[in-house]
Amino acid sequence: MSQREQTKAGRRREVITLGCRLNTYESEIVGQHLDSAGLENTVVINTCAVTAEAVRQARQTIRRVRRDNPGARVIVTGCAAQIEPETFARMAEVDHVIGNTEKLDAATYRALQKGFGTDELERVRVNDIMSVKETAGHLIDGLVGRARAYVQVQNGCNHRCTFCIIPFGRGPSRSVPMGDVVAQVRRLVEGGHHEIVLTGVDMTSYGADLPGQPKLGTLVRKVLAHVPDLQRLRLSSIDQVEVDEDLMRAIGEEPRLMPHLHLSMQAGHDLTLKRMKRRHLRQDAIDFCREARRLRPDIVFGADLIAGFPTETEEMFQATLDIVDDCGLTYLHVFPYSPRPETPAARMPQVERETIKARAGRLREKGEAALERHLRDQVGRTVDVLLERSDIGRTPDFSEVRLSRPHAAGQTVRARLTGVEGRHLLAEHTT
């Protein structure tokens, strides 16, 4: 799991982000609330619960934070706090535990400023996430030090994949109204952000709870039409089986929609997919990638894949290895299966941990080889690079690029790709 730290110059507060892009976006909201409430000497850890390892990392981070900040107020929030509040409430290093809904409410932080939580019984504020019916469209000015910004369009999930604990951390699926999304994107673009990433827990379920039930493709077209100054629009993880016709047309017709999709694929064998309670089969994933590539020949795919799901045989695992080639995947997020409490998969016959570890390693090696091939195929091309730092940026297909000389971070430069070094391309700025 990734970890990002965010600070405001001159302000004594810190938000540490563990996990997904949605957490990154929400951490910025948390930081704004800390500032508005005037809370100082406060550290918030925004946790992830997707795997047991993510929860272990959260506990480790909390202990480090307390060691480094003995006099600070330590607040734990995020999915791990929502699902296991008692785990963190028992930690001596933790002052407060707040849920995923509460962390986005300014009133929570005003209450903290007034002395909430001094009573042992009041240290925890985690309500029933399943009772939440709406997701507000929060306005933020951007992410500090970043060329791109994330915009939440959806939260929660109505599906019950057998391995997944996240619906119990995020609640039911709910969408941000299109007008609010457009307003946030416009605000960020006016603030100097050139690339916007739409994000959510189950983003392709967008709109089912809104009047008229608009689809994600409708939202994408609205954003591009109403914010003409937006240079790049990118989507975070999507479920390929839920992609609507309008989104497919946007993939083929909208050059500002970036040619990079990250797919919630999880496995490459039909029986494994059925036991996961996924809504697609192997051929569905292959057909989607083939059609998207027909519409947009330069499109690149990433995917989430799980190694060692319960009952997985070597044959089943081989099908997951093979789907990397069959779908032409480039960027892999590999998860060694981790049983999560109260999920159906945790009660299935488990694969040996050493076998899981070995299969995850083989899958990562497959992914590294695929990425290397992709990067080498790019050498010699001239592309637009959005600079995240003075010499590091991303191409439209999300390849990382290192420029031969620095430029101002945040701008887009034209560059010729000259070689490969590790996991990134080398490039020279063209005039």
Q: What string of H, E and C letters represents the secondary structure of 103-164?
A: HHCHHHHHHHHCCCCCCHHHCEECCCHHHCCCCCCCCCCCCCCCCEEEEECEECCCCCCCCC
Q: Based on the fold, state whether residues 111 and 152 are members of the same structural domain.
A: no
Q: Which residue segment(s) compose the domain that 237 sits in?
A: 131-258
The residue among 76, 101, 127 that closes a domain is: 127
Residue 71 lies in a domain: yes
Greatest Cα-to-Cα distance within the chain, rounded to the nearest angstrom: 64
| 305/325 Cα distance (integer angstroms) | 13
What pLDDT, on a 0 to 100 scale, did the predictor assign at position 282?
A: 96
What pLDDT, on a 0 to 100 scale, did the predictor assign at position 6?
A: 41
What pLDDT, on a 0 to 100 scale, did the predictor assign at position 12?
A: 63
**Cβ 55 vs Cβ 79: under 8 Å:** no
What pLDDT, on a 0 to 100 scale, did the predictor assign at position 129?
A: 59
pLDDT < 50 stretches in the chain? 1-11, 116-121, 136-137, 139, 142, 144
The residue among 241, 258, 275 that closes a domain is: 258
Residue 13 lies in a domain: yes
pTM listed for this prediction: 0.83
What pLDDT, on a 0 to 100 scale, did the predictor assign at position 407?
A: 84
Q: Based on the fold, state whether residues 15 and 101 are members of the same structural domain.
A: yes
Q: Based on the fold, state whether residues 116 and 191 are members of the same structural domain.
A: no
Q: Based on the fold, state whether residues 89 and 164 are members of the same structural domain.
A: no
Q: Based on the fold, state whether residues 94 and 143 are members of the same structural domain.
A: no
Q: Based on the fold, state whether residues 123 and 135 are members of the same structural domain.
A: no
Q: What is the tally of structural domains in the chain?
A: 3
Who's near 173: CB < 8 A, 6+ residues apart?
154, 155, 156, 157, 158, 201, 202, 205, 208, 209
Burial of 277 (0-12, 13-18, 19+ CB in 10 A): middle
Beta bridge partners of 304: 264, 333
Burial of 38 (0-12, 13-18, 19+ CB in 10 A): exposed
Span 251-277, pLDDT tens digits: 999 999 999 999 999 999 999 999 999
What pLDDT, on a 0 to 100 scale, did the predictor assign at position 121?
A: 43
Residue 345 lies in a domain: no
What pLDDT, on a 0 to 100 scale, did the predictor assign at position 306?
A: 97
Q: Based on the fold, state whether residues 80 and 148 are members of the same structural domain.
A: no
Residue 53 lies in a domain: yes
Residue 336 lies in a domain: no
Q: Which of 342, 341, 340, 324 is nearest to 332 (CA)?
A: 324
DSSP state of 349: P
| 307/372 Cα distance (integer angstroms) | 21
Going from the C-alpha of 89 to that of each of 12, 82, 84, 93, 98, the distances in angstroms are 24, 11, 9, 9, 10
What pLDDT, on a 0 to 100 scale, did the predictor assign at position 145?
A: 53
3-state secondary structure of 185: helix
Q: Which of 361, 354, 366 is nearest to 330 (CA)?
A: 366
Helix axes 353-378, 314-326, angle to 10 degrees: 10
Q: Based on the fold, state whether residues 107 and 139 are members of the same structural domain.
A: no
HSE at residue 424, side-chain half, CA atoms within 13 A, is 13
The residue among 94, 127, 160 that closes a domain is: 127
Q: Based on the fold, state whether residues 170 and 119 are members of the same structural domain.
A: no
What pLDDT, on a 0 to 100 scale, did the predictor assign at position 134?
A: 53
What pLDDT, on a 0 to 100 scale, did the predictor assign at position 315?
A: 97
Q: Which of 99, 229, 204 is nearest to 153 (CA)?
A: 204
CATH label of the domain that carries residue 253? 3.30.750.210
Q: Based on the fold, state whether residues 121 and 135 are members of the same structural domain.
A: no
What pLDDT, on a 0 to 100 scale, did the predictor assign at position 131?
A: 56
Residue 308 lies in a domain: no
Residue 230 lies in a domain: yes
What pLDDT, on a 0 to 100 scale, did the predictor assign at position 122?
A: 63
Q: Based on the fold, state whether residues 102 and 159 are members of the same structural domain.
A: no
Q: Based on the fold, state whether residues 107 and 158 are members of the same structural domain.
A: no
CATH label of the domain that carries residue 79? 3.40.50.12160
Residue 361 lies in a domain: no
